């Protein structure tokens, strides 16, 4: 009996300590007030010098936290207990967060620098009036390949990935929409296709690519490409830029049939305690000089038209990233297709993966 | 009074079982009966019985079988050898220590080892053979999995062998049995429980492996674990994910029944984890 009491007290004590710790941790993570701004961004996605500059300019202290997936970020905000003032979701997540009422409206009057953003990148389907989101970086999906390992190979067309000489050499990203998207693009269909027969057709075409597929993996691809362990991979332009900065033999191409256009956007989560500061920060990041510096540091493509003029022309004229106008017209932003369709995409993707043997 | 005290002290155990074993299983069964909109349906089960998932189940079993088989082939002689060594506890520890390291870290290490520029290919090139693609093959997947599971197989077999009374072996030899007969008729039957425990500890987790399938096999091997992960994290179809989990739990029960001990009371020694 005595030991039982002792055990119960022990358990209660541990619970108490855990509760206290979690309380203390809540208090530090996302603590916010008038002169504190909590930013929740992807890892290595801002020039740290700019945060210092912002702090100096406004006297606001910045707390900077990072996440590595849209889903994780959204879950954390949805669960509450955080006070993030700025978050940077991708476009389809903006739509989901809006639907779940996790976002605050952005007051455009407080963001005069919005005028510097390229008009093509505003008023897109995921947030028609930019009421909730302001573009931060944009990019494409394309093919990164090793010029040295694949002599004379070009990836101007998606069909080049079906080339028999690439047997067991193609790495795909483990993401249903991107891979099914390759199938859809290659048969000239929209990336937002909802017609099941068309999706089936795209999958059947993909299955014919199966002998060429070396692996379907995630971020590990970066290291494999840099080490020259892999010849060609489907990837996002930003990830391609990371790889190319480490290995000069790599290059990136967006096939002519079109591809995905993606955006990461600044939003103000519902949990924000410093809305004024958040607006100040968004406006600050849209300043052409700041945007130019940030883009050159991070290596991603900026939607800020005025910033382009201040940047190294070699970067701005690199059509692999800043794709020409007629290619850009063929790029498509993902629409939120609803859970059923996403489920269907994933089912088809699973079937495709099972065919790689 | 004493009896009562014993019953009382069991209460935390029952609460634990209720909240962390029974309740989660019931929740999984409940979710498996829901569709995307939270309506009751049995479509998830119908979906599971289509060719895609049945094929996946078969391939999961096949790979789990291979992994268990190779683990056993390596572990039994290894465990036998260790029992004969002078510092057997030390040797055992050396085998067990790697299992304390995070599984993901070990897996990442193998990406480097198996890579085109890794040590294995460096050796292959040194003896004049062309570069081999090792990463993203069935071989790599089974090899890494076996490496990871070996400690869980060795431990119970070692315990069973270590407890084996040497007098029995002497008796068998005295009665004229050959070495092979002794091994077949005396040692194996007496260590069967260790083997069963080891098979359980390897086969069941091997059925639901998922990170290794992507990192080492590049998704060329798809197991039930991979499918569950995808349903929960990307598709966010909890119903389907739960349905696959229900089947996985069923398979596990069947395996436990098949490999379970008939007689109670025999120490289930060293069942890892």
How many helices (H) and strands (E) in chain B?
14, 0
Tokens of A247: 């290995």
For CA atoms A315, A319, A321, A324, the dihedral sign is: positive
Judge: B111–A351 Cβ closer than 8 Å, yes or no: no
**What Cα–Cα distance (Å) separates residue B139 from each residue in A311, B27, B185, B219?**
49, 37, 34, 14
pLDDT digits (tens, 9 = 90+) for B130-179: 888 899 999 999 999 999 999 999 999 999 999 998 899 899 989 998 98
ipTM above 0.85, yes or no: no
Residues A280 and A58 sit within 8 Å (Cβ to Cβ): yes
pLDDT digits (tens, 9 = 90+) for B216-241: 999 988 899 988 988 887 777 889 99
Strands A86-87 and A36-42: parallel
Per-residue pLDDT of chain A (357 residues; tens, 9 = 90+): 677 777 778 888 887 888 887 776 655 554 445 689 999 999 889 999 999 999 999 999 999 999 888 878 888 898 888 889 999 999 988 998 998 899 999 999 999 999 999 998 999 888 999 999 999 999 999 999 999 999 888 899 999 999 999 999 999 998 889 999 999 999 999 999 999 999 999 999 999 999 999 999 988 899 899 988 889 999 999 889 889 989 999 999 999 999 999 999 999 999 999 999 999 999 999 999 999 999 988 889 999 999 999 998 988 888 888 888 888 889 999 888 888 898 899 899 999 999 987
Tokens of B249: 């739990």
Q: Residue A33's Cα: distance from chain center in Å?
A: 28
pLDDT of residue A146: 95
Residue for token pair 């909802």 = A194
Show residues of chain B in contact with A347, CB under 8 Å. Answer: 52
Rounded Cα–Cα distance for residues A69 and A78 (Å): 14
* A136 phi/psi in degrees, rounded to 5: -110, -60
Enter the pTM of the model.
0.82
| Chain B 217-236, residues with CB within 8 Å of chain A CB atoms | 217-220, 222, 227, 230-231, 233-236
pLDDT of residue B45: 94
**How many other β-carbons are positioned within 10 Å of the β-carbon of residue B177?**
16
Rounded Cα–Cα distance for residues B267 and B196 (Å): 13
CA end-to-end distance (rounded Å), chain B: 34
Q: Which residues of chain B have pLDDT under 50?
A: 264-273
Show residues of chain B in contact with A180, CB under 8 Å. Answer: none
Judge: A227–B55 Cβ closer than 8 Å, yes or no: no
Q: Residue B262's Cα: distance from chain center in Å?
A: 21
Which residues are CB-contacts of A193 (< 8 A; sequence separation ≥ 6)? Answer: A184, A199, A202
Which of A216, A223, A343 has its CB closest to that of B235? Answer: A343
Q: For testing the chain A interface, which of B105, B137, B220, B227 should be mutated: the one with the most A CBs within 10 Å?
A: B220
Rounded Cα–Cα distance for residues B56 and B153 (Å): 25
pLDDT of residue A206: 96
Which of B53, B63, B115 has the alpha carbon at shortest distance from B221? B63
Judge: B8–A4 Cβ closer than 8 Å, yes or no: yes
CA distance B199 to chain A (A): 27
How many helices (H) and strands (E) in chain A?
14, 10
pLDDT of residue B3: 61
Show residues of chain A in contact with B219, CB under 8 Å. Answer: 174, 215-217, 353, 356
Rounded Cα–Cα distance for residues A260 and A254 (Å): 9
CA distance B258 to chain A (A): 29
Which of B58, B19, B59, B41 has the alpha carbon at shortest distance from B242? B41
């Amino acid at each position: 009996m005595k030991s039982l009491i002792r055990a119960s007290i022990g358990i209660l004590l541990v619970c108490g300590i855990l509760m206290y710790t979690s309380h203390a941790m809540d208090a530090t993570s996302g603590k916010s007030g008038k002169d504190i701004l909590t930013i929740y961004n992807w890892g290595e996605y801002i020039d740290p010098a700019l945060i210092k500059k912002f702090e100096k300019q406004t006297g606001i202290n910045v707390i900077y936290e990072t996440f590595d997936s849209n889903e994780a970020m959204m879950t954390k905000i949805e669960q509450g207990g955080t006070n993030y003032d700025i978050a940077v979701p991708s476009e389809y997540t903006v739509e989901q967060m809006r639907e779940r009422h996790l976002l605050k409206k952005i007051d455009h009057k407080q963001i005069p620098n919005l005028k510097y953003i390229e008009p093509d990148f505003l008023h897109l389907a995921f947030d028609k009036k930019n009421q909730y989101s302001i573009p931060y970086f944009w990019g494409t999906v394309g093919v990164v390949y090793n010029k040295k390992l694949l002599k004379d190979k070009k990836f101007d067309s998606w069909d080049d990935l079906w080339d028999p000489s690439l047997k067991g050499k193609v790495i795909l990203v483990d993401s249903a929409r991107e891979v099914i998207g390759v199938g859809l693009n290659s048969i000239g269909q929209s990336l937002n296709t909802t017609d099941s027969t068309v999706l089936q057709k795209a999958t059947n075409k993909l299955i014919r690519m199966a002998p060429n597929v070396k692996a379907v993996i995630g971020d590990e691809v970066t290291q494999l490409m840099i080490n020259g362990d892999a010849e060609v991979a489907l990837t996002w332009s930003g990830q391609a830029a990371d790889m190319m900065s480490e290995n000069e033999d790599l290059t990136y191409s967006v096939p002519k049939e079109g591809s995905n256009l993606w955006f990461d956007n600044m939003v103000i989560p519902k949990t924000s305690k410093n809305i004024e500061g958040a607006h100040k920060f968004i406006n600050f990041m849209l300043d052409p000089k700041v945007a130019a510096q940030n883009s050159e540091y991070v290596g991603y493509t900026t939607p800020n038209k005025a910033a382009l003029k201040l940047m190294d022309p070699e970067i701005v004229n690199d059509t692999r990233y800043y794709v020409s106008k007629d290619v850009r017209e063929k790029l498509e932003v993902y629409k939120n297709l609803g859970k059923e369709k996403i489920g269907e995409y994933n089912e088809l993707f699973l079937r495709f993966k099972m065919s790689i043997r | 009074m004493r009896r009562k005290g014993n019953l009382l002290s069991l209460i935390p155990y029952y609460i634990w079982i209720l909240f962390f074993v029974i309740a989660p299983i019931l929740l999984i069964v409940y979710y498996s009966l829901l569709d995307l909109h939270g309506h009751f349906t049995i479509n998830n089960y119908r979906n599971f019985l289509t060719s895609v998932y049945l094929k996946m189940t078969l391939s999961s079993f096949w790979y789990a079988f291979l992994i268990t088989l190779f683990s056993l082939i390596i572990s039994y002689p290894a465990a036998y050898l260790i029992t004969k060594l002078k510092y057997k506890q030390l040797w055992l520890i050396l085998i067990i220590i790697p299992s304390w390291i995070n599984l993901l870290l070990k897996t990442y290490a193998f990406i480097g080892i198996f890579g085109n520029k890794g040590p294995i290919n460096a050796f292959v090139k040194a003896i004049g053979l062309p570069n081999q693609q090792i990463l993203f093959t069935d071989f790599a997947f089974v090899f890494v999995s076996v490496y990871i599971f070996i400690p869980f197989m060795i431990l119970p077999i070692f315990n069973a062998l270590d407890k084996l009374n040497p007098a029995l072996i002497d008796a068998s030899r005295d009665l004229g049995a050959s070495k092979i007969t002794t091994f077949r008729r005396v040692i194996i039957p007496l260590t069967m429980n260790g083997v069963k425990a080891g098979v359980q500890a390897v086969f069941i987790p091997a059925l639901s492996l998922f990170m290794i399938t992507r990192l080492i096999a590049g998704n060329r091997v798809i197991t039930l674990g991979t499918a569950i992960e995808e349903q929960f994290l990307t598709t966010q179809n909890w119903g389907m994910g739960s349905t696959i989990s229900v089947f996985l739990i069923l398979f596990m029960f069947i395996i436990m029944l098949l490999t379970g001990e008939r007689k109670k009371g025999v120490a289930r020694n060293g069942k890892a984890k």
